Chain A
Amino acid sequence: KAGVTQTPRYLIKTRGQQVTLSCSPISGHRSVSWYQQTPGQGLQFLFEYFSETQRNKGNFPGRFSGRQFSNSRSEMNVSTLELGDSALYLCASSLGSGTNNYGYTFGSGTRLTVV
């Protein structure tokens, strides 16, 4: 079966702009989690969506938002981009959410560069 698809793979944006990243999970998976990876802060949890509802949120400013569609595809949006938003954004696909879920498949990520 197809893996986790993140698009685009690379993005270059200017400070102040906004950006939308997409994640298509494995077919049948209903949970999508997003992570930001930077050299300084490592891997940090942004948010999780399960069955179109935000289930968890990390400690990021309100400029970071997301949503999930009925087909489980998820998008994350970053508004008013700052240089510090330059990072690799990873999404993880899971069948379920919570106690009985311990399977995570990561996409290859979107590399965002803010100039």
Chain B
Amino acid sequence: AQSVAQPEDQVNVAEGNPLTVKCTYSVSGNPYLFWYVQYPNRGLQFLLKYITGDNLVKGSYGFEAEFNKSQTSFHLKKPSALVSDSALYFCAVRLIKAAGNKLTFGGGTRVLVKP
């Protein structure tokens, strides 16, 4: 079985400050890892993914994430947060060798960026 934990329900940060959203995962094998963002009454928008190679992944809107295999973590970071980054963020995992496309999501972290 695979699982994803996002330990913080909400993260508050002042505009211009660094933003970190934490994610740890548990899988029996090598994972694909993803970050998605959701705005109210919308679907999930893709931010970035880790497939293989460089552990530091750069994505959309200035976000990046670092894959840490030993700590089974994939934290999302942004050096300088914007008010428009306020949204719900989801981390997801899938086994590379899975027979199918099932994603397992974390519970989500609400980010509130204050002006």
Proximity string of chain B (31-44) to chain A, C-beta cutoff 8 Å, 1 when within and 0 when not: 01010100001111
Considering the chains assembled together, what is the distance between the CA atoms of A89 and B100 in angstroms?
19
Select the stretch in A11-19, A65-73, A76-84, A101-109 that faces chain B: A101-109
- Shortest B65–chain A CB gap in Å is 15
Contact between B101 and A92 (Cβ–Cβ < 8 Å)? yes
- Shortest B112–chain A CB gap in Å is 17
Contact between B108 and A56 (Cβ–Cβ < 8 Å)? no
Interface of B is mostly: loop
> Is B96 in the interface zone, CB < 8 Å from A?
yes
Contacts of A55 in B (CB 8 A): 99-101
Q: Chain A interface residue count: which class? A: 20 to 34
Contact between A102 and B97 (Cβ–Cβ < 8 Å)? no
Contact between A101 and B101 (Cβ–Cβ < 8 Å)? yes
Given A102-B94, A104-B34: A33 in contact with B102 (beta carbons within 8 A): yes
